[in-house]
Structure 1
Amino acid sequence: MSSRIPQKPRSRNPVQTRARLLQATIDLVAEKGADALSLKEAARVAKVSRGVAYQHFDDRDHLLREAKAWLSERLSESLHGELDPATMEDRVYGVARQVMNNREASRLLIADAMAGKDLQKDHPLYRLLLDSLERFRTSGNARQDMDLEILSSILVGVVASIIMLSYQDNSDVDKMARRFTAEWTRILRHGIFVEPPA
């Protein structure tokens, strides 16, 4: 008669495994670039077998596509919270801080947008920009004649500038986000041109 206690089978959670693989992909791309990504390496970083990785993703391109979509959803969710504060300065600061704290992820999404690949009208970040601008316009605090589609594209460029700022040596995210906020809100309120002398 054996006194050994039977072991419970390991519980597997496919949702958590998928999330670990997606996070590993984002981490690898941030560290080595998208060209260096492989499903095998993502599995290693996520601490799952390559076979398990292939149960979730067909190939490297599928993994990368899904990681970008997953990431854009996460950024979109976090930005929704940042857009709730009352003042324009709070909103700009919140977005700048989120982008700077997620610069590699943001860089992936911007690179796709600039290549004309992935910033479609149904993309979560594009949708978020349009919805935020529409709310801003209907609040009465913005011009009613804004071209929301053009302004959304301009704001994608603004996000690219935030990413560039975050790469400065010894960049203090909070300080840089505040500097960006001060200048961008000044431009939004007053522009950059002065009236020519009469």
Structure 2
Amino acid sequence: MSESRQTLEQRRNRNYEETHRQLVERAVGLIGRDGVGSLTVATLARDARMNRSTVYYHFDSREALLSAAKAWFGAKLSEMMVAPGDSQTWLEKAVQFSLGNPELMHEWVMDLVNHTPIQNNFPRWDQLVELASRSPQVARQEDGKGGPTASGALDAELWATVLLASVVMAPRLFRVAVRPDQEIELVSRHYAQLLRRMLQSPQRNAR
């Protein structure tokens, strides 16, 4: 392939990826504004002011579009939950993100509980488990050689599961059924403080 042709191909790929990203983010916005039931390729095309065939080039069905939106949610959430820095900051951002996207969060959780491997929905699961393994509740179980025991490894997975559920589901339950009068920002702050105490983790260094 000539250099000019290769450059053109790279530009086309970048344009495709950028358009794809924009369409997914617009789909997320539509879900947040009008609900999951309103999401179709046609409504997305109208919202993006694009030809419907262009949108179909990226998503051949409503199911593919919704799947991309759920993948976006899972990727964003996983990035927040393993971000470097003070745990109060990333926990608060993760809780607020989940509360700010209730319908998409519900669809994402339903995928999780329908026998889907968690790595498919939460790309940084292994990193979250590794983070959980550093908590005092898990780290104290060592094999005498400086490594975790088998039960400690299991506990790290359990702890990561509890942390994920606490970020995604508990704040939603609290705000809807317990204190619907509280603002998202306040609920997020309070849950982040609680989860930080549970995690008992010092500030983490950037990876």
User: TM-score, with normalisation over the residues of structure 1?
Assistant: 0.68
Whether the 8 Å CA contact 1:89–1:185 is kept in 2: the answer is: yes
After TM superposition, give the deviation of residue 182 of structure 1 in Å: 3.9
Question: 2:80 maps to which residue?
Answer: 78
| Counterparts of residues 40-119 of structure 1 (less than 5 Å) | 40-81=42-83, 83-85=84-86, 89-117=88-116, 119=118
After TM superposition, give the deviation of residue 50 of structure 1 in Å: 0.6
After TM superposition, give the deviation of residue 35 of structure 1 in Å: 3.6
Question: 1:149 maps to which residue?
Answer: 157
| Counterparts of residues 131-150 of structure 1 (less than 5 Å) | 131-134=130-133, 136-137=134-135, 142-144=139-141, 145=152, 147-150=155-158
Instruction: Say which one has the larger Rg.
Output: 1
Structure 2 residue 195 is the aligned partner of structure 1 residue 173: no
**Unpaired stretches in structure 2, ≥5 consecutive residues:** 1-10, 142-151, 201-207
% identical aligned pairs: 24
After TM superposition, give the deviation of residue 160 of structure 1 in Å: 0.8
Whether the 8 Å CA contact 1:76–1:128 is kept in 2: the answer is: no
Supply the AA of the counterpart residue of 1:52. T
Paired residues in the alignment total 174
- 1:80-128 Cα deviation digits (max 9, x unpaired): 33x421xx54554343334334444433322321233362467315334
Supply the AA of the counterpart residue of 1:152. A
- Rate the CA distance shift 1:64–1:156 in 2: closer, same or farther, 3 A: same
| Alpha-carbon distance in 1 for matches of 2:98, 2:50 | 29
- Rate the CA distance shift 1:109–1:128 in 2: closer, same or farther, 3 A: farther
| Alpha-carbon distance in 2 for matches of 1:27, 1:66 | 13
Say which structure is richer in helix.
2
- Rate the CA distance shift 1:104–1:84 in 2: closer, same or farther, 3 A: farther
Supply the AA of the counterpart residue of 2:158. I
Question: 1:29 maps to which residue?
Answer: 31
Whether the 8 Å CA contact 1:89–1:181 is kept in 2: the answer is: yes
